[in-house]
Each structure stands twice: as structure tokens, then as C-alpha cells.
Structure 1
Amino acid sequence: MSTSATVTGRRGIPAAAFVEDVQTYLSQLNLDVNSGLAFLQERLQQYRVVEMKLLAQQRDLQAKIPDIEKCLDVVATLHAKKGTGEPIIADFEVSEGIYSRARVEDMGSVCLWLGANVMLEYSCEEATTLLQKNLENAKASLEVLVADLQFLRDQVTITQVTIARVYNWDVHQRRLRQGSPAASES
């Protein structure tokens, strides 16, 4: 039936088995050609939905990583100016397209948005540690997502090949049943 009968999925994504013998494949699943093709088309659609979700997660992480790196740079700048008595003049975004200027004199701590409208105050050292950990986690998550997407693309390709093989097998079987001379030549 397939080259890897014990193919398993990756993180909830079911693996597609490569079909060597279409007739055996269909009989083992107890399906006719149309049902087999419908099953494979449905599986292909499921893969597409998962791919869209993974691509959205990838875009979010790719946007998040530069933001974390910028925060790390800001915290490093604040930490470097700490104790010098020299104020920092900073422009910051209040709202989309609206900026304000601030004079920051005491740089002993920073406030970080954690999400869900939560902000906490950290020392520069704690903030750096937290941001470094978040950056490492985001990069690791991105690597896993890229691997998941590659696995998913492989499954899509295998499924598309299987659909083509089932369809071609069906055409060949119909020609044989009709006694077509073209079928005996191939």
C-alpha cells in the first residue's frame, strides 16, 4: 500500500502516506474511487486550513521578534545612561500616528507591556533578562513553525500526488473495462 505504513503526524498534523498500489489502498480503506478522491480532497483542504493558521502564526512571530529586539536596545540604552545624571529625550508613540516627546531622567526601572493590557515595572537588569528569554522563546517557536510548515508542504505534495495517481488509475481502469486499444498499449 504505502512505503511508510506507520507514518505519524507532527504536532497534530496527520501524515499522508505515499500510495504505491492504488487498488490496494482503496480496498484497505473500503472506498470506491469517487469516495477515495473525496477523502483525499478533504484531507488536502484540511492541510490548507492548517497552513493558513501556521502562516498567520509565523507572520505574528516575525513581527514580534523585531519589536522585542527594539525593546532590548531601548533597555540597554537606558541602562547605559543610568547613573550618569544625563537625561534622555525620547519621542514615543501615544497612538497610531500621534507622537509625544518625553524627558527621562531617572532610569532605574522600565515598564514593559506584557499583553492583555498588563504593564509591569522592572529594573533594567530584570527587563533585559525577561526580554532575552522572550526573544529566545520567539525564535525557537519560529523555528518549530518553519519545520511544521515544511512538514505540511510535504504532506500537501504527497496528497496531491496520491490524488493524481488515484485519478489516473481510475482512467486506466475505465479504459480497460471499455476494451480500448489505447489501454492495452500503455
Structure 2
Amino acid sequence: MEIDPQPSSAEKSAANAAAAEGSSPAADGEQHRRGIPVAQFVADVEAFLAGREAPPVIQSLEERMQQYKLLEIKLLTQKRDLQSKLPDIKKSQEIVQTLVTKREEKKEVRLDYVLADGVFARADVKDADSVCLWLGANVMVEYSFDEALALLKRNEENATSSLANIDGDLLFVRDQINITEVTVARVHNWDVQRRRLAGASSSSGGALREGIAA
């Protein structure tokens, strides 16, 4: 009997997130959570800029925000994949357990199996003591019932754990997106206000010079 028990690989759900630290305005020694850079909350925009021009800093922040959003899409894809695999793993466990029960009761099991694409056959199985599990990449391995149940249980636990990690990573990434969006807005508003004050100061200076000349 052939059963596909494997979840897709999602253990390293955030391993390659938003690298490019050199292009980010975040400080050296930047903190990470499971490979995800922590966004820097800016309380003092002037101190944050430290003499830098606002436009390139805003561009760098927007690039980081785009990296967070790409990571969010990646995590959502991994989550959907795992969610689709979990029911298959549980169903496979039920099938193997049914075979175990039938063997203990010394009863035959009537099974329909795939003979070829679109072609099915029926078999009566009695006293079975093993199953074949697909491990992915066109690899199938025969296991005893106990080994198969242990493997399926482990796969279920791993998939459930990975889902919990992904949910945590998604919450964290969305927080970083919000923080970065706020920082972009604060830097932009500070720059607009600075330019406005500089323009007003320049106009006042020009009017004063004209008055003196008159």
C-alpha cells in the first residue's frame, strides 16, 4: 500500500529573510529574530539621520520594507503548504491504524490502489505487516506498521511545530512592516518641515537685506 506522509520542508521558514543589512539605515549590531532583522523604531528623527540626507534614508527604509513584504508572502506560502499536508498525514495515520486493527482481528482489507495514471485495481489484503510510504522526490520506503505510525506521528508533530513558528514569524514580520512604515512617514514629515523652515528663514533673510538696501 502506498501512502504519502511527508510535509513540505518549512523548518527554516525565515532563514533567508531580508538580508542586505549594509544598505539598511539600521545601526551596526542589528538584532534578528530567527533570521529576520528587527526594525528600528525612531523616536528622534534628527538623531537617527545623524547628518544624512532624508531621501536616501527613506529609500533604504522602503527597500527594507519591501524585503519584509516579500518574506511575508514566502511565509504565507509555506503556511498554506503545511496546512494542506497535515490532513494527508492524519489520513495516512488512520489508514495504517486500520490495517493494524484488521490484522489483529485477522480480517481481510479490500483496497483500491493506483495501477497506472487513471487506472485503479482492487485487492484483498490479509495479514499485512508493512506499508510503503512516499518520502518525496519519487522515493518510497517500506516500513513496518509500528515504524510507519512513528514516522507519521513525528511528521505531524514537526508540521504542527513549523506552523506555530510560521505564525509567530508572520506576526513579527507584520510588526516590522508597521514600524518601518511609521519610520518612513516620520522621516518624510521631518524633512518636509525642515525644508519649510529653511525656506521661511531664507525668505526672511532676503526681505531683511532688501529693507537695509532701501
The verdict on a shared fold, with TM-score over 0.5 as the criterion, is yes
Give the counterpart letter for 2:162 in structure 1.
S
Distance 1:128 1:106 in 2: 17
- Secondary structure at 1:91's aligned position in 2? strand
Aligned to 1:13: 36
Q: CA deviation at 1:83?
A: 3.7
Could you tell me which runs of 5 or more consecutive residues in structure 2 were left unpaired when the two chains were aligned.
1-27, 202-214
Q: Over residues 59-87 of structure 1, what are the superposed CA-to-partner deviations in whole Å (9 max), with x where a residue is unaligned?
A: 11111111111110101111110143322
Distance 1:77 1:138 in 2: 23
- Secondary structure at 1:71's aligned position in 2? helix
Q: CA deviation at 1:105?
A: 2.3
The TM-score, its normalising length taken from structure 1, stands at: 0.85
Out of 56, 62, 86, the position equivalent to 1:35 is 56
Aligned to 1:160: 181
Aligned to 1:25: 48
1:44-59 superposed matches below 5 A: 44-59=65-80
1:119-134 superposed matches below 5 A: 119-134=140-155
Q: CA deviation at 1:152?
A: 0.6
Give the length in aligned residue pairs: 175
- Secondary structure at 1:101's aligned position in 2? strand
Distance 2:182 2:116 in 1: 50
Q: CA deviation at 1:51?
A: 1.4
Distance 1:96 1:79 in 2: 28
Give the counterpart letter for 1:8 in structure 2.
Q
Superposition CA RMSD, Å: 2.3
Distance 1:62 1:178 in 2: 57
Give the counterpart letter for 1:66 in structure 2.
P
| Residues 179, 100 of structure 1: alpha-carbon distance in 2 compared, 3 angstrom cutoff | farther
1:140-159 superposed matches below 5 A: 140-159=161-180
The TM-score, its normalising length taken from structure 2, stands at: 0.74
| Residues 41, 98 of structure 1: alpha-carbon distance in 2 compared, 3 angstrom cutoff | farther
- Secondary structure at 1:82's aligned position in 2? helix
Could you tell me which runs of 5 or more consecutive residues in structure 1 were left unpaired when the two chains were aligned.
181-186
Q: CA deviation at 1:119?
A: 1.0
Q: Percent identity?
A: 49
The higher radius of gyration belongs to: 2
| Residues 109, 143 of structure 1: alpha-carbon distance in 2 compared, 3 angstrom cutoff | same
Give the counterpart letter for 2:38 in structure 1.
A
Give the counterpart letter for 1:82 in structure 2.
R
Q: CA deviation at 1:174?
A: 1.8
Distance 2:34 2:166 in 1: 10
Distance 1:11 1:96 in 2: 42
